[in-house]
Structure 1
Amino acid sequence: MSCLNCAEEISSKSNNGDLMSYQVLARKWRPRSFKELTGQEHVSRTLENAIKSGRIAHAYLFSGVRGVGKTTVARILAKSLNCAEGPTHDPCMKCQSCTEISSGFSVDVIEIDGASHTGVDNVRELQESAQYAPLKGRYKIYIIDEVHMLSTSAFNALLKILEEPPPHVVFIFATTEQHKIPGTINSRCQNFQFRRISYREIMDRLRYILQEEGIKASEDALSVVARASDGSMRDALSLLDQVIAYTGGKLDEGDVTWVLGLADHMTGPFIQHILNRDSANALTVLKEIVDGGYDLKQFCTNVVEYIRNLTITKLGLGQEVIDLPQERITGMAKMVENTPMDILQRIFGIFSKTLEEIRWFPHPRFSFEMAIIKAADMRPVLPVDNLIGRLAEIAKRLSGGITSVEEKKEWIKETKREEDHGNEIIHIPSITSTEVDGKKNTIETKGSDASDIATLWHKVVTRINEEKPSLGSYIEQGVLVGFEDGILSIGFNGGASVFINLIERKDSKDFILERVKAYIPGITAIKFTTISDKKGHSPAYNEYLADQHDKQQSEIEEAFSDQIVKDAIDILGGEVVELRNRKGE
């Protein structure tokens, strides 16, 4: 008896409206007519005009992502066709047909779930019932949701009735995956592509619903819900229901992000730490994210989206591209006032790659932390195009563009500088301001004893290193041997004798002699010889070593006879490290 009493009590409450009296927002505020439809004007206008002109098709295919109004429009179309005052584009919502369709109990409007009726037998039953006239309305309307789930045999069976449909039957198919619909079905239907509902349309709809419900909400809170819905009105209303239940009636951004697990309110400060190159505080924010139970993948998605918004803001664009309130966009513009565009793009690339990594990495937090350290240490770089342009200009000048001493001095002033590009200083090699045409140098010599000659030779080597670093690197391998009868002798041990042939090229030797004359008076010639090394090897042994390197020397001569190679070494300040013979490869 107690069970019967319980059943009677439940039945009584149900009849009195106490049980399941609440209706979720997604159902309560579902559009009932075309004029209430949000974001699908191209669909509603086409169908309204078709009804007005009597051009009603026998089959429609509605495709689009979830929650954008496909089934809703199907029901509105059914009411428009079977309304007592119709067919009309504006159903009365009062007649028996309209009320039955709205409540889902119309005998002439049959809704079928394609996911659970996939077989050919289900379609055969549909074909048999479609032959009978509607009981109350003008049309018998079949709404098949998720029609792409039908089997190939079911589609083939459906094809026959679509080719020769009864005049009183209208098919409305809805799918989220139009590419799975066979072409033979597609071609026999009027296709309507439902687009994602825009951020602003969702925001306007949410404001209207909350106003009607008497619930207060901040713009930032609504913005979080609208962006989290990803263009789906049904998702937006479901999320709104969830947030209202948590907050008790007043919505703010912090509560919304906490309930939805988005951590939106922490994304801005996190990015600010990255831009300030403050990896320590950025890592602290990440720890709070992890400790708070937020999804790292979702937070990384937020970071990528935020950086994207900063980049778009840096271009001077606003709400026409970014789905955010104007106040937030203004704040973003101030955040990146002093941040170069290339830094934002590189940070975007780092976290985009991280987003891919944490999908499969067993320890996503570690990957995220390394990305933070890398992004916070990001430094500006000089664009490659600028470097290439400057190298081309230097090559042009060195290849004959500068002829007079005055032009050389002017080019020296232009080249000798430090270019401060953001936080990185780029040093540009330059020649000294001492005259470079071989005329008398302003440095006075003090005599010709051995110590003075050695000091002056060191200055010559330093000068050559400044003007031609590659040649200077060869000269540095030699030592001062003697100075007699105007001839300066420079010796190279066996290992370094390979450089003698390079130095004794006419253009190189003349260049060295001019610099020597500028510093050491009385010089008429300069001679490069082979000497014993530290191990006491004789000149004969050094000559033997030189013979062993004949092949290498000839290859070096061949390589450095190329004007491009010589210019590259001079311009870039390079030196010979290794010579590889790629012949025959």
Structure 2
Amino acid sequence: MAHTTLYRKYRPASFAEVVGQEHVTRTLMNAIEAGKVSHAYMFAGSRGTGKTSTAKLLAKALNCVEGPTATPCGKCDSCVAIGAGTSLDVIEMDAASNRGIDDIREIRERVAYTPVEGRSRVYILDEAHMLTKEASNAFLKVLEEPPGHVIFVLCTTEAHRVLPTIQSRCQKFEFRRPDSGMVLDVLRRVAAAEEIEIEDAGLAAIARGSAGAFRDAIGILDQLATFCDKRIALDDVLSMLGTVESELLFEAVDIVAEEDSRGALLFLDRLAGQGRDFNQFTLDLIGHLRNIFLVQQLEDESEGILDVPREDMSRLKAQARLLAPRQVTRFIELLMKAASGMKGGGEPRLQLELAFVMMTRPQVDASAKSLLYRVEQLEEGRLVPAPKRMNGSRQAAAPSGEQQEAPAAGSEGGAADSAGGQEADAPAQQLEVSLDKITRAWSIVLTQVKKRKIPLYSLLQDSRPLTLESGVLTIGFPPESDFNRNQVDKPEHRRIIAEVLKEMTGADLQITCAIKEGMARRDEPRKKAPPQEDSITMIIKELGAEEIT
């Protein structure tokens, strides 16, 4: 017996099974029950949203032995024949290959014939926008006044290309693109019916990769089930789709936020060694940055809009606080430029390498936008050059708010003199072990953690010390950062924090993590712009400019 593809096997058998198009199915069902079925319909929408399936359901409803009815039985000879595509009363034409005036003349001659088996003859013209102008004009008369037993259904993905005179003769329905949640529900139902073993994360990846097309999503699931013998792992899904797991996207943004050009190039080299598709990675990273941008603009309201797994939401919010909105928009622009270059035939890896270097080193980009971006960064103190060491004492370079707090923390434990041969980036404070002093120096702790592992620094953004008892330091997180707490509580991450604290305090501390009810997220203070004279000096130093008097 020939194999039937899953998307054909699980086509909607009734109007109730059409997902995400209630505005269409409800109107058609009411029209059938009231006997007010139009002579011509236009179904417009993106691929795989159910246009042709709905047209066939309409034909079943009109020709069912129990009909006309909004709930065709699906068992009579007429329903079975229409579902199998063998009914003589339902003529399905591909307007992409039958687009000439001779094809339309043939339709005009055949519409006079009465139905063979049912009550109505239904003509389904798929890709109706592909008809030639001459064929469209020849179609106008029969479309406007067809015989009473004839129903036309025009399906198109590009309604704007259909002649306005044809559109005006049809009742037009816009088929909406379903969200990934709707596609995921359909995939779960198909996987359960076919006894396919696949975790929800894999189904969610398929749903996102289908771009809102039910047919594409079920087709991918069918292909994976054949390849994996109905036992599908997440890695198999990602490999077939060419998509990138979220961990790599978070890592890429962390590297860019750190302005680490060397790390960025080594990261891309690792992707190349893994055989990643740079085109797909670029698109995925643009989507990830879009999510960050929306979190920055919408804050808590973004959770109902973003299509992001729940376990990734906390990390997404942490990265949204780590970057300025202007940085995010600039990164998106650079990546979109790289994607455009790839489409134009440019070497994908080179395009992505250039984008990453420009993101991490703005001075490499000589464009006017980049120059303006660097000036704005200087005005906010984000690119202030590190001052030179004077008389062997440590000076705080402090390009960020955390580093600017170093002198205050140092005043509690005493400033360490660098004459003892300590390196410039070594911790200068030797603190007594007390909760109060660890809390005061927490920003310095985070800075030292950042030097060891950037993702861990991002996870700790909302944290603060809670208790210190018997050598055990408990780090608290707000309730909405439960994912961050779970990640920080991993042995490797607790070891890094303990090592940093030992360097700063000389004490071996054990680390635990806990959720603190009522604890608010950490709000970073807005950095003040330096005086105008300092801005001019920094611009001269950073850009190599010359002041003209």
Same fold? TM cut 0.5:
yes
8 Å contact from structure 2 (residues 73, 79) kept in 1: yes
Aligned with 2:325 (options 337, 341, 365): 341
Q: Deviations over 1:99-150 (max 9, x none)?
A: 1100111111111111111111111111111001111111111111111111
Answer yes or no: is the 8 Å Cα contact 1:319–1:325 preserved in 2: no
- Higher relative contact order (Cα pairs below 8 Å, separated by 6+ residues): 2
Structure 2 residue aligned with 1:311: 293
Do residues 327 (structure 1) and 311 (structure 2) align?
yes
Question: Could you say which residue in structure 2 is the equivalent of 1:221?
Answer: 202
Shift of 1:60: 0.4
Instruction: Give the one of 238, 242, 247 matched to 2:228.
Output: 247
1:301 to 283, 287, 295: 283
Q: Which of the residues 160, 163, 174 maps onto 1:182?
A: 163
2:85 partner letter: G
Partner of 1:360: 344
Residue in structure 1 matched with residue 63 of structure 2 by the alignment: 82
Aligned counterparts of 1:331 and 1:247: Cα–Cα separation in 2: 32
Match status 1:34 vs 2:18? no
Match of 2:249 in 1: 267
Q: For 2:74, what is the secondary structure of its paired residue?
A: coil
Partner residue of 1:137? 118
**Contact 1:64–1:176 (Cα < 8 Å) also in 2:** yes
Whether 1:373 and 2:357 are equivalent positions in the alignment is: yes
State the Cα deviation string for residues 353-402 of structure 1 (Å, max 9, x = none).
22222222532312211221222346997859988xxxxxxxxxxxxxxx
Offset of 1:306 from its aligned partner? 0.8
Amino acid at match of 2:343: R
Deviation, structure 1 residue 35: 0.4
* Aligned-partner Cα distance in 2 for 1:274–1:149: 46
Residues 314-463 of structure 1: pairs in structure 2 closer than 5 A: 314=296, 315-360=299-344, 362-377=346-361
Match of 2:24 in 1: 43
Q: Deviations over 1:164-212 (max 9, x none)?
A: 2101100011111111111111100000111111111011111121122
Distance (Å, rounded) in 2 between the aligned partners of 1:424 and 1:185: 67
> C-alpha root-mean-square deviation of aligned residues, in Å?
3.0
In the TM superposition, residue 43 of structure 1 has moved relative to its aligned partner by 0.7
Change in 2 beyond 3 A, CA 1:570/1:295:
closer
One-letter code aligned to 1:342 = R
Pairing 1:155–2:136 present: yes
- Give, in whole Å, the separation in 1 of the partners of 2:264 and 2:62: 59
- Structure 2: distance between partners of 1:90 and 1:241: 29
- In the TM superposition, what whole-angstrom CA distance separates every residue of 1:317-365 from its partner, at most 9, and x where no partner exists? 4442111221222332234443333333332222222222222253231
Aligned AA for 1:294? Answer: R
Partner of 1:276: 258
Distance of 1:123 and 1:572 partners within structure 2: 73
Checking the alignment, whether the CA contact within 8 Å between 1:127 and 1:161 is kept in structure 2 is yes
The aligned residue for residue 235 of structure 1 is 216
Compute the TM-score of the two structures, normalised by the length of structure 1: 0.62
Q: Kindly, what percent of the aligned residue pairs are identical?
A: 37
Alignment partners' CA distance in 2, 1:145 and 1:96? 24
Letter in 1 for 2:329: Q
Contact residue 114 and residue 150 of structure 1 kept, 8 A: yes
Match of 2:450 in 1: none
Q: Is the 8 A contact 1:83 1:95 kept in 2?
A: yes
Supply the AA of the counterpart residue of 1:286. L
Given that residues 343 and 378 in structure 1 are in contact (C-alpha distance below 8 angstroms), is that contact kept between their aligned partners in structure 2? Answer: no
Compared CA separation, residues 203 and 186, structure 1 to 2 (3 A): same
Question: Partners of 2:310 and 2:103 in 1: how far apart?
Answer: 53
Mapped contact 2:78–2:118 kept (Cα < 8 A): yes
One-letter amino acid of the structure 2 residue matched with residue 295 of structure 1: D
- Paired with 2:356 and 2:534, the residues of 1 have a C-alpha distance of 40
Using a 3 Å threshold, how does the CA distance of structure 1 residues 98 and 214 change in structure 2: closer, same or farther? same
Q: How far is the alpha carbon of 1:570 from its aligned partner?
A: 12
Distance 1:188 1:383 in 2: 57
Instruction: Find the aligned partners of 2:288 and 2:176 in 1 and give their Cα distance.
Output: 24
Against the structure 1 CA distance between its residues 577 and 332, is the aligned structure 2 distance closer, same or farther, given a 3 Å change threshold? closer
Quote the offset at 1:163 in angstroms: 2.2
Alpha-carbon distance in structure 2 between the residues aligned to 1:288 and 1:111: 50
Tell me which amino acid in the other structure corresponds to 2:116.
L
1:273 partner amino acid: I
Q: Which amino acid aligns with 1:338?
A: L
Write the deviation string for residues 217-241 of structure 1: whole angstroms up to 9, x where unpaired: 2222122111111111101111112
CA distance in 2, matches of 1:310, 1:66: 29
In the alignment, the residues of structure 1 paired with residue 227 and residue 61 of structure 2 have an alpha-carbon distance, to the nearest angstrom, of 39
| Matches of 2:261 and 2:546, distance apart in 1 | 40
Match for residue 145 of structure 2?
164
Q: 1:267 to 1:47 in 2, by over 3 A?
A: same
Task: Check conservation: 1:34, 1:90, Cα contact below 8 A.
Answer: yes
> Could you tell me how far 1:274 is from its partner in structure 2?
2.3
Shift of 1:272: 2.8
Contact 1:43 1:192 in 2 (8 A): yes
CA positional deviation for 1:93: 0.6
**Aligned partner of 2:112: which letter?**
Q
Given that residues 313 and 329 in structure 1 are in contact (C-alpha distance below 8 angstroms), is that contact kept between their aligned partners in structure 2?
Answer: no
- Please give the alpha-carbon distance, in whole angstroms, between the structure 2 residues aligned to 1:217 and 1:97: 37
Question: What residue identity is the alignment partner of 1:367?
Answer: Q
Counterpart of 2:78 in structure 1: which amino acid? S
Paired position in structure 2 for 1:57: 38
SS of equivalent residue, structure 1 residue 375: helix
Query: Is the contact made by 2:42 and 2:167 (CA closer than 8 Å) also made in structure 1?
Result: yes
Task: Return closer, same or farther for 1:333/1:357 CA change in 2, 3 Å cut-off.
Answer: same
Structure 1's 420 and 166: CA in aligned 2 closer, same or farther, altered over 3 A? same
| AA at the equivalent of 1:307 | L
For 1:465-480, list aligned pairs within 5 A. Answer: none
What residue in structure 2 maps to residue 115 of structure 1? 96
Preserved contact between residue 48 and residue 214 of structure 2 (Cα < 8 Å)? yes
Secondary structure, aligned partner of 2:322: coil
Q: Give SS of 1:84's match.
A: coil
- Which piece of structure 1 moves more, 205-214 or 36-45? 205-214
CA distance in 2 between counterparts of 1:37 and 1:223 reads: 20
Give me the whole-angstrom Cα distance separating, in 2, the residues matched to 1:182 and 1:93: 35
Aligned partners of 2:124 and 2:154 also within 8 Å: yes
> Contact 2:48–2:213 (CA<8 Å) still a contact in 1?
yes
| Structure 1 runs not aligned, ≥5 long | 1-16, 388-416, 426-567, 580-585
User: Does residue 91 of structure 1 match 2:75?
Assistant: no
